[in-house]
């Protein structure tokens, strides 16, 4: 099943970008499309600071892109997800944003898309990736960007995992990825009423399958929620 939005529905979905007071990308911005696709590896095994490959990875392997929050770094995020990735045998890409946070939040979408696309191309050239288990995930600003990229590239990503997102601002819509969203009921950074409790119904009206998880807590990712998301991704 492919979720296709009417122009009216797409504009209504894009309006949710303002739930945290952040402006959407300019109409002149890039389309947010990633060109890299899984295929038959033809390059030597890649190693990089932004890449984690389980020691006994079984190919074709699931792959997850993890996107840090504002002011974060990919290497630190990689440390948080390494154990979960090893448990499910997933390859992980953890890019750094070009600026202090992701491009769509500070300016126009584009520079971070190019960086992520290049990293995907390198990984796809080195490892066999399962096209049916390919996720983009993130926390806070990274969650907002995961939703933005996931909706614009639903013909690549099968799953989107968004922990405490503030908004979404897809410049286009393709495919129908499954979506996992979690949010703390006591989040003071990105209040749940202005963010996920608006985002989730909008996504559902647009035809997306959304697994929504509220928890008693603040702006964080509890261990049990992260475990639930990984089980959801691999079920």
> pLDDT of 36-92, one tens digit each?
999 999 999 999 999 999 999 999 999 999 999 999 999 999 999 999 999 999 999
Parallel/antiparallel/unpaired status of strands 129-139 and 178-184:
unpaired
In a domain, 28, yes or no: no
Rounded Cα distance between 104 and 175, Å, is 21
Q: How many CB atoms lie within 10 A of CB 19?
A: 22
pLDDT at 153 over 50: yes
Inform me whether the pLDDT recorded for 2 exceeds 90: no
Query: Sign of the CA dihedral 197, 170, 79, 124?
Result: positive
pLDDT digits (tens, 9 = 90+) for 105-138: 988 899 999 999 999 999 999 999 999 999 999 9
171 domain residue, yes or no = yes
Q: Is residue 179 part of a domain?
A: yes
DSSP 146-158: HHHHHHHTBTT-S
- Which of 13-22, 31-40, 157-166 comes out lowest in average pLDDT? 13-22
Percent of the chain with pLDDT strictly greater than 90: 83
Q: What does the mean pLDDT of the chain come to?
A: 90
pLDDT bracket for residue 212 (50, 70, 90) = very high
Domain tally for the chain?
1
Given this model, what pLDDT does residue 16 score? 57
Give the whole-angstrom CA distance, residue 200 versus residue 198: 6
Task: Report if residue 37 sits inside a domain.
Answer: no
Average pLDDT over residues 208-226: 97
Cα distances (Å, whole numbers) of residue 6 to 3, 13, 89, 170, 206:
10, 10, 38, 14, 9
**89-107: per-residue pLDDT in tens?**
999 999 999 999 999 998 8
Q: Is it the case that residue 7 has pLDDT exceeding 60? A: no
Q: Is residue 35 part of a domain?
A: no
Residue 36 within a domain: no
The pLDDT value recorded for residue 19 is 53
The domain containing residue 150 runs over which residues?
7-18+45-234
Residue 32 belongs to a domain: no
Sorted by sequence, the CB contacts under 8 Å of residue 231 that are 6+ apart come out as none
Residue 225 has pLDDT above 50, yes or no: yes
pLDDT of residue 106: 87
Tell whether the model's pLDDT for residue 206 goes beyond 90.
Answer: yes
CATH number reported for the structural domain that contains residue 202 in this entry: 3.40.50.1820
For residue 30, pLDDT beyond 90: no
The three-class DSSP label of residue 24 is coil
Does residue 185 belong to any structural domain of this protein?
yes
């Amino acid at each position: 099943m492919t979720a296709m939005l009417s122009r009216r529905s797409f504009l209504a979905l894009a309006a949710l970008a303002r739930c945290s007071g952040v402006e959407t990308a300019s109409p002149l911005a890039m389309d947010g499309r990633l060109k890299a696709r899984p295929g038959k590896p033809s390059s030597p095994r890649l190693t990089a600071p932004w890449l984690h490959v389980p020691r006994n990875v079984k190919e074709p392997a699931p792959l997850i892109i993890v996107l840090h929050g504002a002011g974060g770094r990919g290497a630190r995020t990689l440390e948080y997800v390494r154990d979960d990735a090893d448990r499910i045998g997933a390859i992980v890409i953890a890019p750094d944003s070009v600026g202090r946070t992701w491009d769509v939040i500070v300016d126009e979408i584009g520079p971070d898309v190019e960086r992520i696309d290049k990293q995907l191309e390198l990984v796809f050239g080195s490892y066999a990736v399962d096209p049916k288990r390919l996720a983009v995930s993130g926390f806070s600003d990274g969650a907002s960007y995961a939703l933005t990229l996931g909706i614009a590239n639903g013909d690549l990503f099968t799953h989107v995992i968004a922990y405490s997102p503030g908004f979404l601002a897809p410049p286009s819509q393709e495919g129908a990825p499954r979506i996992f969203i979690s949010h703390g009921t006591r989040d003071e950074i990105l209040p749940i009423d202005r963010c996920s409790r608006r985002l989730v119904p909008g996504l559902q009206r647009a035809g997306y399958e959304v697994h929504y998880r509220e928890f008693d807590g603040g702006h964080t990712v509890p261990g049990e929620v992260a475990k639930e998301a990984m089980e959801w991704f691999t079920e």
